[in-house]
Structure 1
Amino acid sequence: MKKIRFILILISFVFQVAAQSNLKNTDILEIEINPEITHQTIRNFGASDAWSTQFVGKYWPEDAKQAIAKLLFSKAIKSDGSPEGIGLSAWRFNIGAGSAEQGSESEILDEWRRSECFLNQDGTYNWDKQQGQLWFIKAAKQYGVETFIGFVNSPPVFYTKNGKAWSSDGSRANLKQEYYKNYANFLSEVLKGVKQKTGITFDYVSPFNEPQWAWECCKQEGSPWTNEELFLVTHEIHKSFIKNKISSKIEITEAAKIDYLYTAADKPNRGNQIDYFFNKKSEGYLGYLPSVAKKVAGHSYFTTWNNNTLINTRNALNQKRQEIDPDLEYWMTEYCVLEDNKEIRGAGRDLGIDAALYVAKVIHADLVYSNASAWHWWLAISPYNYKDGLIYIDKNKEGGQFSDSKMLWVLGHYSRFIKPRMRRIDVNKKVETNVLVSAYASKDEIVLVMVNIDETDKKIMVSGVPKSYKLEACYETTGEAFVNLKKRFQTCKEANVLLPKRSLLTCVFENQVD
């Protein structure tokens, strides 16, 4: 019996030594930060108010609305040192086309995807419309959100060719040519009206959302646009903004896929938008107009699988942008999980870490390979059984339950700590692993974000941090319930940290020198 016990103890010892040896040889990752090499300036991280806020903001109980707003916008710290929200720094406001007033005659089947319009049929405006959305934009402002973008899916139904908020032909703008000026003036009036109602000035307006899609009946508001149509209408918007002294900048492109920004792809008169609008030799050049934002925007849909596609499309986008104008910024302005592939499917809610890590991989690629200066999620609040929400709610207009997702907290690893105007800085991994690493710096802080895709823990050794910067804290999100941006005190004594399997860890270094 003693002999058997001795053998078991010996076997256990051998396994422990082997495990420690394996950790020592394969699971220690040295990360070298180089603040001297800088990349893009980060402007903001955001999400959109489509479409649920129209009901949540208007009808739901005050305590529920406040709790949801806190999760999205708050920068406060809980008693355990962890953030109580993800501190978004941008908010996208859907300027509706009026399908909600049409009701079932709009032919948009889902009531939650119809939108009210500030414009009345007689040409007057009603600033009591879109009350739910106005509640949330005011809440965002109160929490300190800095950047506001108004985006349009369809022109007002009073100006469209078919009197609907969707396209009949799927190839050209659903806007009568005689109403180009009317549409431009509508945008000016909305920007002025929202400011009068809320005190908020839109920094940008996006009049042409995803112009490459057909937007035919009957899922939601939308309109296709050719590049030539965008060129003509942008001139009208510019003239209206000048006349009305509108400071908001026009965001020309909201490409449905990022490859439409740098290639014609399958939409020859709707693609290659960087070259068409920002190449000085192009017939569609608009970069000289003071009202046009010096940036291009695109959506990361359908370019995230496999890893070669994820990286190569973003490298190509960045190369094209630098070729045309290195000072032209790129903003990634809409993403949720739409793509079905071997790793993930869009259908079905996933509040856990698997979908969240997929999203983290996309965020990392957009920031590191395409040099995105902004990153925006699609539905901040979703009632759907789909991977499209940061916060999920019951599909009940009057109220109900809501749940945060790990996707919310994954975005928070970036939005809560990477402040506007930080610069992305260089990071070097000594060994190539499934750990995604990026770093960001200001004169006050360095933020290091690490994503561990692997099923094994990693020991991280950080070097290159300037001596005046000291590790203040690390915040982790794992697959465990309630471990969401949880502050880790035990790992903050030195710059060596444990990165758990299938997790994110963000470390904040503070400059001790004034």
Structure 2
Amino acid sequence: MFSYQNRPRLQYSLLVGLDTRNPTTKRNQHLSFLRILFALLAIVAYCSSAPLARAIDIGTTTSYHNHRFEYWGTSLAWWGNEVGGQSNAQGREDLVDIFFDPNNGLGMNFLRYNIGAGSNPDTSIQNITRPGAKMDGWVPDQPTDFSDTSTWQWDWNADATQRLILDMAIDHGVSNVEAFANSAPWWLTRNLQSNGISGGGSNLSTARNDEFAHYMLEVVDHFETNLGIHFETLAPMNEPGSGFWNGNSNQEGMGVPAGFYQDRLIKEFGSEIANRGTNIKLVGLEETSTDQSADSWNNGSLTNTAKSYLSQVNTHSYGFNGASLPSDSQNLFNAVSPDGLKIYATEYGTGQGATRLARQINNDIRYLDAAGWTYWQAIEDNNGSGWGLALSNFNGNNPRFDVQDQYFAFKQYSAFIRPGSEIIELANQDDITAAYDPRTGITNVVVNNEGGDNTSQQYSFDVLDRQVLSTRLIRTTDEDNSLRTDAYAALGPATASNNNVSFDAVGNAVTSVVIYHRPNLVENPSLDLGSSNNGTKVIAGWQAEGNALFANVEDNSGDGSGSALMLTNSVGNTGRISQSGIGDADVDLTGVAYQLSLDVQFANEDSAHYDADTYLALEFYGADDETLASISLQDSETEIDPAFAVKRDGFESSVDGSDPNDTVYRTYLSGRFVAPEGTRFVRPVIRFDGVESGSNNVVNLDNVRLQEVHPEATARVWNAEGSGDWSGDDNWTNHAKVDNNAWAYFGNAIDQASTVTIASTTYAQGVTFFSDHEYQLQGSGQLTTGHPTESSAIDARMGSHRISVDTSLVGSVDVQVLPGASLVFDGGLDLNGHDLTKLGAGLLDLSVGFEMGSGQINSYTTLEALIAIGSDAVLDGDFQLLLAPGQTLELGDTFELLSYNSLSDTFDNLFLPSLADGLAWDIDYGASLLMVEIVNATSEGDFDGDGNVDGVDFLYWQQHGLSASELTEWQDNYGSMAPQPSSAVVPEPSTFVLCFFAITIPLSLATLRNQPTQKSLRKVN
């Protein structure tokens, strides 16, 4: 990357180039005026353009990874207390949406929950008046005997307001919660105040550390046991060495000086956690700056014993109490990394706009290797500080809020650098953060240019190991929090050629390029009108219905090709654009997840306020691309709204999103929708309805993309970077919802094939594998899975994985293997009389020790067998063949049910779909495949199965030594013919099972096909 200092040198070389000829020569004396002019114009043009860029290499595979990123978050202190208590429920819901919605909000998945210290009821001693900052204590009154904890009077109804926001955030996708304290309970402190002591020193006697630990862990256990909320980490200190907490603070705070005091507190908490067996990780030191955190860590009085109790290091990143410059952060990383601990940036806030926030995010991710990054209060009181990502009047009602430039700068990172993304190593690029997300197949590159408004820097990136299939360019410009016309603006695609991507990063702005490596499944994503006229209803790949059409008036793809219009400008209007189904009638898409994204211009300005409901939807269909696979269309749609708080001077934003001057294109995403059971086709749909008054404006759409993705984890996640023991709590990150931790998720934490040891009986309601590297579950124990009444699944989404431990079902289980993935059970699998339903188009290999115990396998029709069994399989159960919704069966259809190298057993029963008159199933246990084929129904005496009883059947009788009674059957039926068949339409899965009939009548003769060794073939109508 060239700097601006390169320009004079290049200008000089160009001028010398014009002056290389001898000025005394006749030719040079007559150098034309026009040539000089053109040369000067070229120089001027170069000087006024962005500096030329040397391409920066980006790799996405393991060797290019710096570290794995885990979360974006915020602290609930104290806005959770304030907003949770406001009377405007809709405003509260909207705020939670814009912070935690993973599709079109910030997608925060981490929260710091403040366990309050309470306040001395004597306001002459302590009086906290900061809005929201006066927190409930869980033991509000001073106990008569501190040391006898059985006498403490607990208020388990405390902190209802903050808990409300916590619950809502978890429902919106927060997966990880940390409990932290600003102070010990007020009655434990030296001066009976929870806002510090004069001088800012220690306000907690070391003799009271054990009572403080008991207080915190009792609250933690209460949330786990009674509220169903798991705290993954516990931080008992917050900016402990800052000196801020001098007893006059307008908020809770407690000094714990570095060295001896911090050492004693950490060891007391660590010991208490170990003694109680609480499943929580102790973290620290939470100092104000990275410089101060390094000093406290290196303090000689902080013993190795205390450090051994910490599972990670948390630091704040402010520029006071030391500093948080890149060099400071590098020093902290160098100090901590020998102990093998990750660092998390757990607090930073600024009122200085988008680029200042982006600078700190870049620094922390680059120099701390921050595995998570947390903003201070996501919303703050509108008191002039401007620190919140959003601002509101904390007045108990709070009907309105404004989002700041910082909000949109945060979104430049969090929208596409999602949990589980791999931060890519970029040498000497302090202004750039790049990450690859294996779940979405997206590389996101964020560039922060803190130069002036009229500066611009050109960037060029060579992607080394993946295809560049398309791009999006998104930019937020610092506008002093007065306008939002260039906040998170979608600028169309970047310049891409082969695997090179280039763009200009303008000054005073944060620019992201989103690079897609997976195919776009839609046809004509730029909505090119071709030769069609404005207002047409049909263009290549797309159809418009109702009050929707295609035109070229607001193109955002950079080529003037066209866009779609939703006519939301008249009361009662409704419309949609869509494509026909994408898929194949013979390919099972069950379990595949998709996400729809596009650029939307709500054209919401002045008095023209958008008041419709617009949805990004996916419709899933069966084999005929007409019969729905899902129960409800509403299950797979996402409503989108104009950007909150986009405004012009003099207008205050409102909670319903009807804000003026949202007139630029912005990028919106649907949810990640998983194709339901039996899906064969997916159809992208953008629709609107609900126009109440008409806005006199329309909604424009462009740059549509549909691609395969994978859902984010909603389970207990394996976080070890290699092999480990299942029973080791430190190998897991638990989900904030206690119930979700019955499910195990093995994701992309590992960078090599790894084994997970199971040494005892271990239960998991479900297991998911998502990694290019192989996981192998092995050991002398047993894995039990399933649930008597709830859903249960073993899901292989990516890669090849093995379950090499004895596995037994305690309830019915779906085993889902997606295309390209495989799952092997080679330690034994016993159905124990339960159902195993095979889903997805990947291979399930039951190669060793498979037993059914009178259970049943259910599987959809496939042209190639997707279930393999070993020669020792005991098929003491049934097999049911399922049809996709809308699937029809015809003469000659052939389906492979199982593959094997050899077979010593057959199923008790094969349950096959009913057929039309004149058709029958022919079952073939072949040498390596169990197959079924639809044939003409046979009559008695039709020994060759061709539908006719004729002389050929007599020859068959002679050659195969059939019985005299079978000859009588031939004689009685000679000359008969089977009726001509017609196609059999099979009902959807919800009803066709009622039409199945048991296959119980054995054939009375051997067919020309192979016979099984133990149980007879059956041919059924």
Alignment gaps of 5+ in structure 1: 1-9, 77-83, 264-270, 338-349
Aligned match of 1:236: 268
Shift of the 132–492 alpha-carbon distance from structure 1 to 2, 3 Å rule, reads: farther
Is 1:91 matched up with 2:111? yes
Shift of the 174–274 alpha-carbon distance from structure 1 to 2, 3 Å rule, reads: same
Shift of 1:357: 0.7
Higher strand share: 2
Aligned match of 1:362: 360
Cα offsets for 1:240-277 (capped at 9, x unmatched): 323443211111211122112323xxxxxxx2x15658
Aligned match of 1:26: 51
- From 316, 331, 340, the equivalent of 1:299 is 316
Higher helix share: 1
Tell me how far apart the structure 1 counterparts of residues 175 and 80 of structure 2 sit (CA, whole Å): 19
Tell me how far apart the structure 1 counterparts of residues 353 and 232 of structure 2 sit (CA, whole Å): 32
Is 1:426 matched up with 2:425? yes
**Residue type of the partner of 1:128?**
N
Shift of 1:389: 0.9
Shift of 1:72: 0.7
Is 1:507 matched up with 2:524? no
Relative contact order (C-alpha < 8 Å, sep 6+): which is higher?
1
Aligned residues: 461
**Contact residue 317 and residue 347 of structure 2 kept, 8 A:** yes
Aligned match of 1:313: 328
Tell me how far apart the structure 1 counterparts of residues 516 and 110 of structure 2 sit (CA, whole Å): 24
Cα offsets for 1:298-331 (capped at 9, x unmatched): 111126999xx72222222222233x33x22111
Stretch of structure 1 that moved more, 224-233 or 371-380: 224-233
- From 243, 250, 255, the equivalent of 1:224 is 255
Aligned match of 2:384: 385
Shift of 1:420: 2.1
Please state whether the residue corresponding to 1:32 is helix, strand or coil: strand
**Contact residue 242 and residue 321 of structure 2 kept, 8 A:** no
The equivalences for 1:98-497 within 5 A come to: 98-99=118-119, 105-121=125-141, 122=143, 123-170=152-199, 172-196=201-225, 198-214=227-243, 215-219=245-249, 220-226=251-257, 227-263=259-295, 271=296, 273-274=297-298, 283-289=303-309, 292-293=310-311, 295-302=312-319, 310-322=325-337, 324-325=338-339, 327-337=340-350, 355-383=353-381, 384-428=383-427, 436-443=431-438, 444-455=441-452, 456-479=455-478, 481-491=484-494, 495-497=501-503
Shift of the 101–466 alpha-carbon distance from structure 1 to 2, 3 Å rule, reads: farther
Alignment gaps of 5+ in structure 2: 1-34, 144-151, 520-819, 821-1021
Aligned match of 2:710: none
**Residue type of the partner of 1:510?**
Y
- From 78, 96, 117, the equivalent of 1:51 is 78
Tell me how far apart the structure 1 counterparts of residues 380 and 37 of structure 2 sit (CA, whole Å): 50
**Residue type of the partner of 1:366?**
D
Shift of the 193–482 alpha-carbon distance from structure 1 to 2, 3 Å rule, reads: farther
Please state whether the residue corresponding to 2:433 is helix, strand or coil: strand
Shift of 1:94: 1.4
Shift of 1:187: 1.0
Tell me how far apart the structure 2 counterparts of residues 212 and 61 of structure 1 sit (CA, whole Å): 39
Tell me how far apart the structure 1 counterparts of residues 378 and 50 of structure 2 sit (CA, whole Å): 42
Shift of the 466–225 alpha-carbon distance from structure 1 to 2, 3 Å rule, reads: same
Tell me how far apart the structure 1 counterparts of residues 123 and 38 of structure 2 sit (CA, whole Å): 72
Shift of the 398–358 alpha-carbon distance from structure 1 to 2, 3 Å rule, reads: same
Stretch of structure 1 that moved more, 467-476 or 415-424: 467-476
Shift of 1:24: 5.6
Shift of 1:452: 1.7
Shift of 1:27: 4.8
Shift of the 248–305 alpha-carbon distance from structure 1 to 2, 3 Å rule, reads: closer
Tell me how far apart the structure 2 counterparts of residues 497 and 86 of structure 1 sit (CA, whole Å): 24
| Superposition TM-score, scaled by structure 1 size | 0.81
Please state whether the residue corresponding to 1:201 is helix, strand or coil: coil
Cα offsets for 1:374-420 (capped at 9, x unmatched): 22111111113114211111131232421111111212222222122
Shift of 1:151: 1.2
**Contact residue 472 and residue 493 of structure 2 kept, 8 A:** no
- From 55, 60, 65, the equivalent of 2:87 is 60
Shift of the 107–467 alpha-carbon distance from structure 1 to 2, 3 Å rule, reads: closer
Tell me how far apart the structure 2 counterparts of residues 303 and 183 of structure 1 sit (CA, whole Å): 28
Please state whether the residue corresponding to 2:184 is helix, strand or coil: coil
Cα offsets for 1:91-149 (capped at 9, x unmatched): 11111110286656523343533221122325222232222211111121111122211
**Contact residue 231 and residue 284 of structure 1 kept, 8 A:** no
**Residue type of the partner of 1:53?**
G
**Contact residue 257 and residue 300 of structure 1 kept, 8 A:** yes
**Contact residue 450 and residue 504 of structure 1 kept, 8 A:** yes
**Residue type of the partner of 1:210?**
E
Please state whether the residue corresponding to 2:261 is helix, strand or coil: helix
State which structure, 1 or 2, has the greater radius of gyration over its C-alpha atoms: 2
Q: Provide the identity percentage.
A: 20
**Contact residue 119 and residue 126 of structure 1 kept, 8 A:** yes
Shift of 1:161: 1.4
Stretch of structure 1 that moved more, 312-321 or 158-167: 312-321
Shift of 1:198: 4.0
